[in-house]
Copies of this chain bind each other. A is one copy, B any other.
Amino acid sequence: MNAAVAAPTQKCTECPIRHRAVCAHCNPLELQELDEIKYYRSFEAGQTVIWAGDKMGFVGTVITGVATLTQTMEDGRTQMVGLLLPSDFVGRPGRDTAAYNVIATTDIVMCCFRKKPFEDLMARTPHIAHRLLEMTLDELDAAREWMLVLGRKTAREKIASLLSIVARRDASIAKKATVGPLVFDLPLTREAMADYLGLTLETVSRQISALKKDGVIEMQGKRHITVPDMGRLMEEAGDDADGGFLV
């Protein structure tokens, strides 16, 4: 199952997401050190990167594609607890078993480091430790924002919230303009969306249909989405439509 494919390595200096990743603050010397110990791994859509509870010998950054962090109860109920997009970090220094399932939902490429060398490097490279703290604090904020979604929003608001997050992250990564209609592909199945939102896939499907019927979104196929008015979508999400960018 875990047959990761080797991917062609590229120079850190040419890395498209370096300015957002854990190595964002590194100087050329530090980058060269990283260059020497890093290795790339690819996973196909649907593959499990790591199971909760398994020993995790590496940490890494998502370069391209989308992965999910999920938690499962004994009876099978599952909750997604994180969406890993390009530049997001996987793994926790100082812990050697994975706390969550990491699953590739699209084909992904990751930039990995064996845990021990990375921890050593981190101990003597404040730039990395500092950036990791920054990223962890951002993730904590995102998790807390998601607690509001899960605890207090209606199904319709939940869908609108998810769409607006994906739309914003997509625009931010592709450095597209944030005015005018936004167009993007949903990287998640209806079931994955349901697991993210604490809903059933039937409810997800119904609410997407409803948003489409009401003109909040337009769809070409089942995954390709156009948002004609981002403000409208954010209103539907129950957020201030002030366009504040959290990502």
Give the dominant DSSP class at A's interface.
Answer: helix
Is A120 at the interface (CB under 8 A from chain B)? no
Q: How far is A181 from B171 in the complex, measured between Cα atoms in Å?
A: 54
Shortest distance in angstroms between A136's beta carbon and chain B's nearest beta carbon?
A: 5
Q: How far is A209 from B77 in the complex, measured between Cα atoms in Å?
A: 26
Q: Which residue of B lies closest to A70 (CB)?
A: B148
Q: How many residues of A contact B (CB 8 A)?
A: 38
Choose from B71, B130, B137, B141 the contact partner of A129 (Cβ within 8 Å).
B130
Chain B residues near A35 (CB, 8 Å)? none
A73 and B148: CB pair below 8 A? yes
How many copies make up the complex? 2
Q: How far is A71 from B144 in the complex, measured between Cα atoms in Å?
A: 9
B81 and A152: CB pair below 8 A? no
Fill in one digit per residue for A128-159: 1 if any B CB lies within 8 Å of its CB, else 0: 01101110110111011111101110000000
Is A238 at the interface (CB under 8 A from chain B)? yes
Chain B residues near A150 (CB, 8 Å)? 147, 150-151, 198
Shortest distance in angstroms between A234's beta carbon and chain B's nearest beta carbon?
A: 12
Q: How far is A109 from B100 in the complex, measured between Cα atoms in Å?
A: 35
Is A240 at the interface (CB under 8 A from chain B)? yes
Shortest distance in angstroms between A45's beta carbon and chain B's nearest beta carbon?
A: 23
Interface residues of A in 183-235 (CB under 8 A from B): 197-198
Chain B residues near A69 (CB, 8 Å)? 144
B148 and A71: CB pair below 8 A? yes
Chain B residues near A8 (CB, 8 Å)? none
Q: How far is A168 from B238 in the complex, measured between Cα atoms in Å?
A: 35
B129 and A81: CB pair below 8 A? no
Shortest distance in angstroms between A128's beta carbon and chain B's nearest beta carbon?
A: 11
Shortest distance in angstroms between A9's beta carbon and chain B's nearest beta carbon?
A: 28
A82 and B144: CB pair below 8 A? yes
B198 and A152: CB pair below 8 A? yes
For the complex of A and B, the 6 pairs showing the least CB-CB separation, nearest first, are A151-B198, A81-B144, A150-B150, A143-B143, A79-B148, A79-B151
Sampled A-B contacts (20; CB under 8 Å) = A71-B145, A71-B148, A73-B238, A75-B238, A77-B152, A78-B152, A79-B147, A79-B151, A79-B152, A81-B144, A81-B148, A92-B137, A99-B141, A129-B130, A132-B133, A133-B136, A136-B137, A140-B143, A143-B143, A143-B147
